[in-house]
Amino acid sequence: MFDKQHILLVDDDPNISHLVRLYLEKEGYDVTESARGDDALEAFKRISPDLVLLDVMLPVMDGLQVLKEIRKTSKVPVIMLTAKDETFDKVLGLELGADDYITKPFENKEMVARVKAVLRRAPGVETSDQNDDTIRFPQLTVSLARYEVTYEGRDIEMPPKELEVLYYLAAHPNMVFTREQLLERVWGFDFFGDSRTVDVHIKRLREKLPECIKYGWEIHTVWRVGYKFEYKAS
């Protein structure tokens, strides 16, 4: 019998929190609620949740500040909750390491589907496939099993989705994928995001893997199509 997965729900609207909690508990999750950013960080340290549902607008410390603090020590999946007109916050949240975002108002069935999709792909989740799943290129090693990336001999910190995008592209060198294909194959068919999500993750990958072209590979933009992991063996 598996232990229940624990979700930290951070939202200062008690009506939203109550309803979301009911839906998540119905699906078998344990839920801890918090209404303030500073309290959320204390709860995070105390319970070590499997996933965080994090509102952007919070008293004392906003959700983006909370996300920054979480990412200093943890790769735990984080789904941001944003108001409809907070496009900038959505992009910034993804850049800071959020795995997904949900726009308010949202359907609770959609919210549950997102939670399940993100948890399925979270590091530490056991699967029946125990292969190492490691890809190697000059000066680059990507392990999906251990969720580790090594570049130029250094371990590179990456949120789970960044690593999964890199792994998927590198596993299919020189193949072009549209943004929609990457959304489907990395995030899953039940991901409800838009193509900017992919662009943000690619941007972050390029920042973390600078000057890689000198090793014969790079994440290449195919104009008006999408992206590919271009590799030219020497």
CATH fourth-level superfamily of 6-120? Response regulator (3.40.50.2300)
Give span(s): CATH 3.40.50.2300, the chain.
Answer: 6-120
User: Which class would CATH give 134-231?
Assistant: mainly alpha
What is the 3-state composition of the chain as percent helix, strand, coil, each rounded to the nearest 5? 40, 20, 40
Give span(s): CATH 1.10.10.10, the chain.
Answer: 134-231
Contact 69, 39 (CB under 8 A): no
Q: Read off the pTM.
A: 0.62
pLDDT for 132 equals: 53
Instruction: Quickly list DSSP for 60-115.
Output: SS-HHHHHHHHHTT----EEEEE-TT-HHHHHHHHHTT-SEEEESS--HHHHHHHH
pLDDT for 83 equals: 78
Q: Which residues of the chain have pLDDT under 70?
A: 1-3, 84-90, 121-132, 189-194, 234
> Taking the C-alpha atoms of 118, 124, 129 and 131 in order, what is their torsion angle to the nearest 10 degrees?
120
pLDDT for 133 equals: 81
Collapsing DSSP to helix, strand or coil, 143 comes out as strand
pLDDT for 128 equals: 34
For the four alpha carbons of 181, 109, 92 and 167, in that order, the dihedral sign comes to negative
The one-letter code for the residue type at 150 is T
Nearest to 186 by CA among 162, 209, 210, 150: 162
Nearest to 98 by CA among 60, 144, 145, 65: 65
Q: CA 134, CA 149: separation in Å to the nearest integer?
A: 10
